[in-house]
Structure 1
Amino acid sequence: MKYRFSVLDIFRGLFASFVVLFHMAFFTNTPVINNPIVENSDVFVDFFFVLSGFVITYRYQLMATTEEFGTFMKKRFFRIYPLHFVMLFVTLLMELDKEYMSHYIHVNKLDNPNNNVLTFFTSLFLVNSIKLFNISDVSWNIPSWSISAEVISYIVFGLVMITIARLSLQRYKSIIYLLTALVALGLLAFITGSFQINYSFNYGFLRGLIGFFTGAFCYMIFSKTVSSLSHINPLLFTFAEIIIVFAIFISIYWGETLKYYGFVYEIIFLLAIYIFSFEKGKLSSILNSSTLLHRVGTYSYSIYLTHAVLLSIFNIVFIRILKFSPEDYSYLFILNLILIYYCSQWTYKNIEIKFKDGFSVFKTAKSSL
């Protein structure tokens, strides 16, 4: 059967919006934004990894050859790289323009040591989630480290799928996915000496692997149980949906403690994705009825990759030039989110979709040679 998982797309959009608020909190001074829920919302990045593993495994569960692996990577490249490339160069232009702007307004980090030639190329080639010498923090378009982790997860996933096919290990897929996640978690714990997984520029690729293969394992559970559980009373799904949403926000609220045991979030997100993948409960019905939430889910990748630049521009205009105060973000955040939404709508239609469709053009042109 074919599934759309539209509610999970909605959650992707909602949680991308919370990540926006997380980064916005560095500019603000209002309890509307500066509260434990928002300030721990960076862990929603792990939801993206788990959901990505779930969806990719669903779509490419039969991948078995190097040719199929190559096609898979080309599709993913055209899906995610063009917008990353554009935003990297937009960030570069902003960095180059800082000196000129500093004559008129105050500029934070006029000479940002993290934005250098080395980190530019690690971002360009999407290896900026791997710990490298002389790199001490995230750089350039800050969210892009997770795109690096995502691409590395694709590569490992493809290699795992080919290995499974060649060794005829299909019946052990679930175990292999789970073991891959556990190995990545164990390696991260061994290197860092803790079970914290909240890493980015250094061990973000391991964080990505943990989440991605947790999601792959989640899909295997779903595929084996969807037929038998689809006929359960929707009231039970409603109850489960309410409980898991409550668990998510309680765990986020207590993030300062739970982040030291990062695998807790992997488990919670696995359960959330599994429960909402059925789309049987009342919460699923409510979410699915909203056109706006569907659009936010559709634009979620653009929201995620464009927001850091747009937050900076918004802060320059409203705080530095128009002299609003950080306290004014108690209502300015709404205007900021609207700006990000419409800019993301534009980048989705004019960059994401055009280059995504470009893969078909690329494939057709190649086959005609």
Structure 2
Amino acid sequence: MNISTLKSKPHYPILDGLRGVAALMVVAFHIFEAHATSHLDQIINHGYLAVDFFFLLSGFVIGYAYDDRWETMSIGNFFKRRLIRLQPMVIMGMIIGALLFYFQDSVLWPTIHDVPVWKMLLVMFIGFTLIPVPPSLDIRGWTELHPLNGPGWSLFYEYIANILYALFVRKFSKTALSILVFLAGCALIHLAVTSPNGDIIGGWSLEPTQIHIGFARMMYPFFAGLLLFRMGKLIHVKNAFFWCSLLVIITLAMPRIGGSEHLWLNGIYDSAVVILFFPLIIFLAASGAITSKFSSRICKFFGDISYPIYITHYPIIYIYTGWVADHKIPFSEAFPVSILVLVSCVALAYICLKLYDIPVRQWINKKTA
């Protein structure tokens, strides 16, 4: 069967909008991270949980989009659709990372100027595939899976989740899926509470501890999102986009819980947010409806830029973080530049969306028609 015969279903507009809200919070989190001495004193302290929110959203949307199509859709067609949706911006994110790499020279990465162009380009081409680079190609020194564009690590686990869904989990009954989600939730709680840092931050390195974090952060939210969709029984919620956006902002901006003396308390908070609060937010958002043209436009715009801004913003953040570190600039002085960085990230995402992502996906769909 041709993949073009599988028409896209209508989106949940509020979920699209929330994805954009969370993506903007990620950018703000990374801006503030440049000024923090540790995760204990960082503003927008729990912005890292946006990744887990994205995983939960993905699981819900994958269930909605594909659960009822497997009688007429092959596994190969599913993978083609997911690649067409995600891979063009993965490639663009790596290209932007390569273009800006030599502008990121800093005390944080003092050997960037010594990296030969051929090696940087090799890392870029490997990044196009999302295959993690080996330690010998760690051209930044932060042990990232993708040194040119750090957030690529979460797309790596997103693909793994999609593979597990297509090959196995799509066939699970609600009971089997519930057991999987329960076990994954237990693993996530154990990770959060026993973490030496009192959080679930991590997943971007190719070493056992970080791989463990990556899988724990992906398994529960993705398949909990799938289970949430299969549970159904939505209710009508008024002003859902406003209230759900506020809840997302509050949960991600919450100050550190427990301080340095009781790190495990913050682990409890991380667990509660991912296991309880995020599913509740998505349930409420999926139950809501857009009642005005303005809200509809906001949700569409936020949804459109959410993925592009997430996958393209970090090369700009590298430059900002290096600048702050080199000159030891407090946020009060860097505020105008931080606003410029935020606006630049949004503008870059929008340009990539309109001039690259949409046309490329349309071209690929046409070629595969």
- TM-score computed with the length of structure 1 as normaliser: 0.73
- Unaligned runs of at least 5 residues, structure 2: 1-8, 205-209
Q: 1:60 to 1:252 in 2, by over 3 A?
A: farther
Cα distance in 2 for residues equivalent to 1:127 and 1:304: 19
Q: Which residues of 2 match residues 21-32 of structure 1 at below 5 A?
A: 21-28=28-35
1:296 aligns with 2:264: no
Report the counterpart of residue 286 of structure 2 in structure 1. 277
Q: String of CA shifts for 1:49-102, please: whole Å, max 9, x gaps.
A: 10111111101012436952211111111111122122223323444x36xx86
Cα distance in 2 for residues equivalent to 1:20 and 1:335: 12
Q: Report the alpha carbon displacement of residue 250 of structure 1 after superposing the two structures with TM.
A: 7.3
Query: How many pairs were matched up?
Result: 333
Q: String of CA shifts for 1:79-131, please: whole Å, max 9, x gaps.
A: 11122122223323444x36xx86xxx5530326xx988976774432449xx
Q: 1:85 to 1:331 in 2, by over 3 A?
A: same
Report the counterpart of residue 329 of structure 1 in structure 2. 334
Q: 1:277 to 1:293 in 2, by over 3 A?
A: closer
Q: Report the alpha carbon displacement of residue 350 of structure 1 after superposing the two structures with TM.
A: 2.3
Report the counterpart of residue 153 of structure 1 in structure 2. 161
Q: Report the alpha carbon displacement of residue 331 of structure 1 after superposing the two structures with TM.
A: 3.3
Cα distance in 1 for residues equivalent to 2:215 and 2:99: 27
1:10 aligns with 2:56: no
Q: Is the 8 A contact 1:120 1:140 kept in 2?
A: yes
SS in 2 for 1:299: helix
SS in 2 for 1:39: coil
**Could you tell me which amino acid in structure 2 is paired with residue 208 of structure 1?**
M
Q: String of CA shifts for 1:192-211, please: whole Å, max 9, x gaps.
A: 98375433122313311221
Report the counterpart of residue 178 of structure 2 in structure 1. 178
Q: Is the 8 A contact 2:60 2:222 kept in 1?
A: yes
Q: 1:15 to 1:188 in 2, by over 3 A?
A: closer
Q: Is the 8 A contact 2:29 2:47 kept in 1?
A: yes
SS in 1 for 2:149: coil
Q: 1:88 to 1:74 in 2, by over 3 A?
A: same
Report the counterpart of residue 305 of structure 1 in structure 2. 311
Report the counterpart of residue 357 of structure 1 in structure 2. 362
Identity of aligned residues (%): 23
Q: 1:315 to 1:260 in 2, by over 3 A?
A: closer
Q: Is the 8 A contact 1:178 1:217 kept in 2?
A: yes
SS in 2 for 1:289: helix
**Could you tell me which amino acid in structure 1 is paired with residue 143 of structure 2?**
D
Report the counterpart of residue 367 of structure 1 in structure 2. none
Q: 1:212 to 1:25 in 2, by over 3 A?
A: same
Cα distance in 1 for residues equivalent to 2:63 and 2:124: 31
Cα distance in 2 for residues equivalent to 1:287 and 1:268: 28
* Larger displacement relative to structure 2 (48-57 or 291-300): 291-300
Report the counterpart of residue 76 of structure 2 in structure 1. 70
- Unaligned runs of at least 5 residues, structure 1: 365-369
* Larger displacement relative to structure 2 (352-361 or 140-149): 352-361
Cα distance in 1 for residues equivalent to 2:125 and 2:47: 28
- TM-score computed with the length of structure 2 as normaliser: 0.73
**Could you tell me which amino acid in structure 2 is paired with residue 5 of structure 1?**
Y
**Could you tell me which amino acid in structure 1 is paired with residue 129 of structure 2?**
F
Cα distance in 2 for residues equivalent to 1:340 and 1:126: 22
Q: Is the 8 A contact 1:78 1:358 kept in 2?
A: no
**Could you tell me which amino acid in structure 2 is paired with residue 60 of structure 1?**
Y
Report the counterpart of residue 217 of structure 1 in structure 2. 227
**Could you tell me which amino acid in structure 1 is paired with residue 70 of structure 2?**
A
Q: Which residues of 2 match residues 1-369 of structure 1 at below 5 A?
A: 4-28=11-35, 36-64=42-70, 68-95=74-101, 97=102, 106=106, 108-111=108-111, 123-128=127-132, 137-138=143-144, 139-161=147-169, 164=171, 172=173, 174-186=174-186, 194=194, 197-201=200-204, 202-203=210-211, 204-221=214-231, 223=232, 225-226=233-234, 229-230=235-236, 234=238, 244=247, 248=251, 254=257, 259-261=266-268, 262-266=270-274, 267-279=276-288, 289=295, 291-292=297-298, 294-313=300-319, 326-364=331-369
Q: Report the alpha carbon displacement of residue 363 of structure 1 after superposing the two structures with TM.
A: 1.8
Cα distance in 2 for residues equivalent to 1:315 and 1:192: 27
Q: Is the 8 A contact 1:49 1:211 kept in 2?
A: yes
Q: Report the alpha carbon displacement of residue 285 of structure 1 after superposing the two structures with TM.
A: 5.5
